Amino acid sequence: MAEAERTTGTPEPERGSGADSTAESEGGEAVTPEKDTVRGKRRITALLLVALLVYLLDLGSKLLVVAKLEHHEPIQVIGTLLQFTVIRNRGAAFSMGEALTIFLTLIAVAVIVVIARIARKLYSLPWAIALGLLLGGAFGNLTDRLFRSPGVFEGAVVDFIAPAHFAVFNLADSGIVCGGILIVILSFRGLDPDGTVHKD
């Protein structure tokens, strides 16, 4: 009898829906609580893998250009349209805010904390990719802030990608920008991090 009650009883609502235990994913398929949990773990794994890839690419590229290119003539990749040249940037983009290095470091830490909180309710693969790009980029530049000269929390970020008439940047910056653009697109499409789709 107890077994029958457990089978026919009303399940608890999922992710604050207040209704049936089955939810609809962004693909339109019904998702049971068990599948939902597995799907959530997969999305977090995807986020971490993207973040790790961005971080390792950024770290490796910085180590390489500092060792081979710093204090040398710029390398012309596409003539003067795109060059590789190492600069140490203590500020934000366009070298603005060089006196606010500690503040920028705290912003990077705050971004990481916010992403960690969002990840607890992450069920959307596109959001996982976007947040992974942001997380990897934030960790990449934060590593410079913490471990490069002149000191902890005041370190200068290594930038080396220099398009003509534009700011010099690095792969971490690229990850952050791409992640931000993807988040804007997902928001306009009405897709939330928990996988639900809403229309205004």
Enumerate the active-site residues: 159, 173
- Is residue 48 within 8 A of residue 134, CB to CB? The reply is no
The two three-digit tokens of residue 94, written as one number: 């366009």
Contact 197, 152 (CB under 8 A): no
Q: Is the peptide bond before 150 cis (omega within 30 degrees of 0)?
A: yes
The token duo for 193 is: 């991090």
- Determine whether 95 is exposed, middle or buried from the number of CB atoms within 10 Å of its CB (0-12, 13-18, 19+): middle
Q: Phi, psi (5° rounding) for residue 165? A: 60, 35
Question: Tokens 């457990």 sit at which residue?
Answer: 6
DSSP 3-state assignment of 16? Answer: coil
User: What does each C-alpha distance from 59 to 1, 139, 158, 170, 172 come to in angstroms?
Assistant: 60, 10, 10, 10, 9
